Chain A
Amino acid sequence: MKNLFIISAVFILFLKCGFLFGKEITVCSECGIKTIKEALDISQDGDRIIIKSGYYREHDLKAEKSVEIIGESFPVIDIDSQGNGFILTKENSSVSGLIIKNMSASYVKDLAAIKIENTSKCKVLNNQLLNTFFSIYLANSRECVISGNTITGNAVTETSSGNGIHLWKCRDIIIENNRVSGQRDGIYLEFVISSLIRNNLSEHNLRYGLHFMYSDSNAYRNNTFISNGAGVAVMYSHYIEMTENHFYHNWGAASYGLLLKDITRSRIYKNLISENTTGIYMESCDKIIITENEFSGNGWALKIMGNCSDNILSKNNFSENTFDIASNSSRNKNFYSENYWDKYDGYDLNKDGTGDIPYRPVSLYSMMLEKIPDSIILLRSFIVDLIDITEKAMPVFIPETLADENPRMHKYQYDKN
């Protein structure tokens, strides 16, 4: 134990002085080394490149050694529409403390401000990326950390813009504490496994705040997704954990708080889903557990298509949504239990907190809307009330089984962490 302590102390000492693990290369306008390119050319594995505050008009900076690239007082790297920014290809490399800006879009190449390819254990920390195409781009890499970056794009169209944080064929990645706005997708994952996405803010992106494709066994927690074109999309993936995220204000024709397509065996827990056109949209989803979420002020809290089955919806709060549940099918293969529905008008004679008659969360009008979207023009008209009251009194169209047999009388007070 004592030996271990001594070894660690020596290790830290060496790290500090940089003797054994490489030298320190300083870049500045008055220094001997004036460009980053020059510094990278002379660097060896384990070197640190300190970039002093200043303005550097450079691009396609390839780091083929294991180097730490560190900005002091945020030096500005102006790519000036000339290709990529940094490209890291060796493990244990890192980029931090830089401002990288001004890229142009490419329709042929995936140009990125910071690219990490075919390597592992790299870090991208505390950078500010302004007006970039793809901002942070990881391909075929593992065990990397992307943390504390601020990405501010000015995307106009989907084809001429790139994703904020883009991962392709990666595993064991941590993406945390980043802020992404104005990109195509805020965070994009394709063929990514066992990664964690937490504490990020993704807002005002053209398409999705977060987008999963064919990425299994990942988790995202404590993220906030605001006013993205179409919300968050999780597609063709399994074993996804979605916890304590805030999906807010995703408004538009094809907009969702959360879009789930071909998802199985996943868990949606303790999220706040508020003021979206559609809170959660589910298509071809099986065995998803949706529990302790707060759905409020959405147009439709949940749309479950007929090809979904064995999903469990329990202990959620539904309040102030125009419609609670909508479905295009007259058959129900999902389970609803112990939710709080603010539209429930039943009673609780034995005072156990559970309503004595079931709650039917699908209204006839909401089913009509699925078939004839134009009938939204009659929203909140007297005739719609008449139709819904009639259907409630004499159910004909709505599946008998689509009901919460144990609706809660009072709103759940979830403890917020």
Chain B
Amino acid sequence: MSIKILKYIFIELVRSRFIIFYGIFLFVLSSAVIYIGHDPSKAVVTMLNLVLFIIPLVSLIFGTIHFYNSGEFIELLLTQPVDRRSVFTAEYLGIAFSLSLAFAAGTGIPLVFFGFTFPVFLLIITGVVLTFIFVSLAFLSSVMNNDKVKGIGLSVMIWLFMSVIFDGIIFIILFVFSDYPLEKFILIFTSLNPVDLSRILILLQLNISALMGFTGALFRDYFGSTAGMVTAAILLICWMIIPGILSMKIFSKKNF
């Protein structure tokens, strides 16, 4: 049932000015980065920074606003003989797919045209995974707040926390406890944040010389191993699924 609804939600979103603008924006940006950088691996590094900055922000804000704006449409769907979970899934996947498509096309076409390498592939995959994660967080903040302003506020806070505050906390821990052997702890702590985890995963693929030092070697040993890769994948999937399921639970019991 979700798929029939999903199809139209997806079509509707792909037509929307925002998604088109988002795709074109990323396309121009990555083309410019490649044009200036000349080297695909350098382009990936620059794109990585942009991707880690833009995707969570756009997914959260757009996901939240879209959810509120779809209120009446969702109500109409819910008065049809259809399960709430199907409606929720369709809405979630519709947004996640359309944002992912805009990202993958906007970033992927110039990068792939320039040279399809494993880091490029990983960057696109990571971008898509981050989109799914942050749309699911956007939905969580939407279903938790009936007030649109509060919902958007919470989404902005989530973004700020994941992108800035969390890393700030890591910095403070590193400074305060600089006399202790913290590598393992910091490694585990950092990988709890999907933005940091994605960043580290891609950086390790790019053979950045600065990461070949002692601490970097430790990170490579950890994330380079099969166990590390599997752990990272599981963590990212958890970030996608747990807020998603949580918000679906709330959505199923919500009063419209």
Binds A, one of B129-137, B139-147, B163-171: B163-171
Residue of A nearest to B209 (CB): A299
A375 to B214, CA, bound (A): 12
Contact residues of B: prevailing secondary structure: helix
Contact with A along B10-46 (1 / 0, CB 8 A): 0000000000000000000000000000010010010
Categorize the interface residue count of chain A: 20 to 34
- Pick from A322, A371, A381: contact of B210, CB under 8 Å: A322
B178 within 8 A of A: yes
- Pick from A252, A298, A373: contact of B215, CB under 8 Å: A373
Q: Is the CB of B52 within 8 A of A382?
A: yes
A321 to B210, CA, bound (A): 8
Q: Is the CB of A380 within 8 A of B45?
A: yes
Residue of B nearest to A322 (CB): B210
Q: Is the CB of A382 within 8 A of B175?
A: no
A134 within 8 A of B: no
Contact with A along B83-98 (1 / 0, CB 8 A): 0000000000000000
List CB contacts (< 8 Å) of A119-165 with chain B.
Answer: none
Q: Is the CB of B48 within 8 A of A380?
A: yes
Q: Is the CB of A377 within 8 A of B209?
A: no
CB-defined contacts of A374 to chain B, threshold 8 Å: 174, 182-183, 186, 215
Binds A, one of B196-204, B226-234, B237-245: B196-204
B49 within 8 A of A: yes
B125 within 8 A of A: no
A326 to B215, CA, bound (A): 17
Residue of A nearest to B175 (CB): A372
Residue of B nearest to A253 (CB): B214
Q: Is the CB of B203 within 8 A of A379?
A: yes
B216 within 8 A of A: yes
Q: How far is the CB of A253 from chain B (nearest CB, A)?
A: 4
Q: Is the CB of B215 within 8 A of A376?
A: yes
CB-defined contacts of A373 to chain B, threshold 8 Å: 213-215
Categorize the interface residue count of chain B: 35 or more
A377 to B216, CA, bound (A): 8
Q: Is the CB of B212 within 8 A of A382?
A: no
List CB contacts (< 8 Å) of A80-100 with chain B.
Answer: none
B116 within 8 A of A: no
Contact with A along B185-200 (1 / 0, CB 8 A): 0110010000010011
A277 to B217, CA, bound (A): 11
Q: Is the CB of B209 within 8 A of A276?
A: yes
CB-defined contacts of B190 to chain A, threshold 8 Å: 377
The count of A-to-B residue pairs whose CB atoms sit within 8 angstroms is 93
Q: Is the CB of A381 within 8 A of B199?
A: yes
Interface centre among A253, A275, A376, A380 (most CB of B within 10 A): A380
Q: How far is the CB of B216 from chain A (nearest CB, A)?
A: 6
B219 within 8 A of A: yes
CB-defined contacts of A321 to chain B, threshold 8 Å: 209
Contact with A along B150-178 (1 / 0, CB 8 A): 00000000000001100110110011001
Residue of A nearest to B169 (CB): A383
Contact with B along A339-374 (1 / 0, CB 8 A): 000000000000000000000000000000001111
Residue of B nearest to A366 (CB): B210
A311 within 8 A of B: no
CB-defined contacts of B200 to chain A, threshold 8 Å: 377
A372 to B43, CA, bound (A): 28
A300 to B211, CA, bound (A): 10
CB-CB under 8 A for A299 and B174, given A374-B182, A379-B203: no
B208 within 8 A of A: yes
Q: Is the CB of B52 within 8 A of A299?
A: no
Q: Is the CB of B212 within 8 A of A251?
A: yes
A380 to B51, CA, bound (A): 12
Residue of A nearest to B167 (CB): A383
A379 to B209, CA, bound (A): 12
A297 within 8 A of B: yes
Q: Is the CB of B213 within 8 A of A253?
A: yes
A320 within 8 A of B: yes
A380 to B198, CA, bound (A): 12
CB-defined contacts of A378 to chain B, threshold 8 Å: 167, 170-171, 196
Residue of A nearest to B191 (CB): A377
- Pick from B39, B196, B212: contact of A252, CB under 8 Å: B212
Q: Is the CB of B210 within 8 A of A300?
A: yes
CB-defined contacts of A380 to chain B, threshold 8 Å: 45, 48-49, 199, 203
CB-defined contacts of B167 to chain A, threshold 8 Å: 378, 381-384
A252 to B209, CA, bound (A): 9
A323 within 8 A of B: yes
CB-defined contacts of A400 to chain B, threshold 8 Å: none
Q: Is the CB of A377 within 8 A of B187?
A: yes
18 A-B Cβ contacts within 8 A? A251-B212, A252-B212, A253-B213, A277-B209, A298-B209, A299-B208, A373-B213, A373-B214, A376-B215, A377-B196, A377-B215, A378-B171, A379-B208, A379-B210, A381-B52, A382-B163, A382-B167, A384-B167
Chain B residues packing against A (C-beta within 8 Å): 39, 42, 45, 48-49, 52-53, 163-164, 167-168, 170-171, 174-175, 178, 182-183, 186-187, 190, 196, 199-200, 203, 208-217, 219
Q: What 13 additional pairs, Cβ within 8 angstroms, besides A376-B213, A377-B190, A377-B200?
A: A252-B212, A252-B213, A252-B217, A253-B212, A299-B209, A299-B210, A299-B212, A375-B174, A378-B171, A379-B208, A379-B211, A380-B48, A381-B167
